[in-house]
Amino acid sequence: MQGRVTGLPKRSSNNQKTRMDKFRITGRQPLSGEIPVSGSKNSSLPAIAACLLTEEPVILHRVPQVRDIATMLKLLEYNGASVTRRLDGAVRIEAARITKPEAPYDIVKTMRASSLVLGPLAARTGVARVSVPGGCSIGARPINLHINGLEHLGATVHQEHGYIEASAPNGLRGNTVHFERITVTGTEDLMMAAALAKGTTVLENAAREPEVVDLAELLIKMGAHISGAGSSRIQIEGVERLHGAEHTIIPDRIEAGTLLIAGVMTNSDIVVTGCVPEHFASLLSKMRQAGARVEESATAVETRPVTRLRSVDMTTEEHPGFATDLQAQFMALMTGAAGISFITENIFENRFMHVPELARMGANIRIEGRQAIVAGPSELTGAQVMCSDLRASASLVLGALVARGESILDRVYHMDRGYEKIEEKLAQAGARIERIG
Ligand code: EPZ
């Protein structure tokens, strides 16, 4: 049975962003009950790219229906794969033949993580042509480490006319790749490329994110020989070919953390279900330091009301440190805490776009270089605000949920990139949130 591949509302014929691009939120509604977490966007993206490594079908369960995933699935169809979203929600991808080993500009410009096909296309076909992903609102986002890594595996890479062309006509060769800086998709890209290289590859200073581990588990199911995923040293023994597999994507730890913060900020008793608490242990630890009451089981976390939170400092780091993708949401939490919180963003150079918007709601935040200084508690009031990027948008939703009065959030298509049906999930739990024109 096949349904629409994307499962998302159709865009208008000229592909303009659909209207209905605002949220209206009335704050101070307590939440209750269980809120389920969807599959991880950042694990699904490399998993979809990995399907290019075999001509056999791969079935992925728990792939969230969000804009970035729709873009990635569209890219794989462009490459020549057949892609179907089954009615049970699973995605079936069969890259029997790759007719276009390319990621064109008009796809990459909307979703830079499409550069994740660079390694798989080079490994499978010996050639890859990927539009240089432009920067985005949170930073320059270069992919020099991906390119250096592929060159270490024997590819020749050159860049012209806005495209990166990698070629390895005689296949890739195993080697040691030392990342001068930890990169999540760089680690994933190279792990996929090395899976089909001749010989052994060692990735040193590799990313340790749960999404890297999840990708390794999929590749191993496909016949890859990988050890050390989750540590900073990953070893891959290349194989001749990979075969089809079936895999369930891990829960989205960033969505889980976002929902948890929503529960604590609204002083509610909610249970975030279908998650893996250890994947966001650093957030849980910080929230407890701030005085939040969060109780975890193997697959869920429960929040309980508390009278007052106290400010704590936080610094974003690579996993298992505090995730940069939860920085904006944690900052929203700190606006309601008593004291001064120093929040340092070490991963991206411009990830404070939510600050002026939170300030419009009455938050007291000062930026000094890589640090945001949050003085609280502030009583937030509803306001008209603008979403700028995926996680900044989430922090504005959180602010609006506790603000006195009504907020209108504009450009919520940013939210649609990475949060599956977020307004439905929050409304289901008691929030007054609706999507409007
Ligand atoms: C992944 O991006 C995530 N995206 C990001 O989530 C996340 O914020 C980021 O990792 C950090 O955890 C996906 O997994 C699809 P990096 P990625 O390479 O891999 C620099 C979200 O909101 N760098 O780990 O692109 C880079 O500029 C998104 O879901 C280089 O200099 O991030 C950054 O400063 C946002 N050269 C740092 O390293 C390179 O070749 C970490 O980037 C690659 C990266």
Q: Specify the CATH number for the domain of residue 262.
A: 3.65.10.10
Those residues whose C-beta lies under 8 Å from the C-beta of residue 79, and which sit 6 or more positions away, are 52, 95, 98, 99, 100, 101, 102, 117, 121
325 lines ligand 1 (CB under 6 A): yes
Low-confidence ranges of the chain (pLDDT < 70): 1-18, 135
Domain count, the chain: 2
If asked whether residues 160 and 298 sit together in one domain, one would say: no
CB 246 within 8 A of CB 58: yes
Query: What pLDDT sits at residue 193?
Result: 98
If asked whether residues 33 and 49 sit together in one domain, one would say: no
Query: What pLDDT sits at residue 379?
Result: 97
Query: What pLDDT sits at residue 15?
Result: 45
327 lines ligand 1 (CB under 6 A): no
Amino acid at 19: R
Could you tell me if residue 359 is inside a domain? yes
CA of 184 to the centre of ligand 1 (A): 6
Helical packing angle, 327-334 and 253-265, nearest 10°:
10
Query: What pLDDT sits at residue 138?
Result: 84
Could you tell me if residue 358 is inside a domain? yes
Closest ligand 1 atom number to CA of residue 390: 22
Answer with the one of 216, 248, 280 that is the final residue of a domain.
Answer: 248
Could you tell me if residue 171 is inside a domain? yes
Domain that holds residue 22: 10-38+251-436
Query: What pLDDT sits at residue 6?
Result: 52
Answer with the one of 214, 248, 282 that is the final residue of a domain.
Answer: 248
139 lines ligand 1 (CB under 6 A): yes
What the block records as the tokens of 395 is: 């922090």
Residue 139 backbone zone (phi > 0: left; psi -120 to 50: alpha; other: beta): left
Ligand 1 pocket test, pick from 72, 150, 282, 325 with the greatest ligand atom count within 8 Å of Cβ, gives 325
Query: What pLDDT sits at residue 5?
Result: 54
Could you tell me if residue 260 is inside a domain? yes
Q: How far apart are CA 341 and CA 147, in angstroms?
A: 38
Q: How far apart are CA 119 and CA 172, in angstroms?
A: 10
If asked whether residues 380 and 285 sit together in one domain, one would say: yes
| 108-122 burial: b if 16+ Cβ within 10 Å, else e | bebbbbbbbbbbbbb
If asked whether residues 279 and 308 sit together in one domain, one would say: yes
Phi, psi of 383 (to 5 degrees): -155, 170
Query: What pLDDT sits at residue 136?
Result: 77
Could you tell me if residue 4 is inside a domain? no
If asked whether residues 351 and 375 sit together in one domain, one would say: yes
What the block records as the tokens of 272 is: 């975030």
Query: What pLDDT sits at residue 17?
Result: 52
If asked whether residues 242 and 255 sit together in one domain, one would say: no
If asked whether residues 54 and 29 sit together in one domain, one would say: no
Strand partners, 159: 164
If asked whether residues 63 and 196 sit together in one domain, one would say: yes
Query: What pLDDT sits at residue 19?
Result: 74
If asked whether residues 274 and 307 sit together in one domain, one would say: yes
If asked whether residues 169 and 139 sit together in one domain, one would say: yes
Could you tell me if residue 2 is inside a domain? no
Ligand 1 pocket test, pick from 42, 132, 416 with the greatest ligand atom count within 8 Å of Cβ, gives 42
If asked whether residues 60 and 74 sit together in one domain, one would say: yes
135 lines ligand 1 (CB under 6 A): no
Could you tell me if residue 432 is inside a domain? yes
If asked whether residues 283 and 327 sit together in one domain, one would say: yes
Answer with the one of 221, 248, 275 that is the final residue of a domain.
Answer: 248
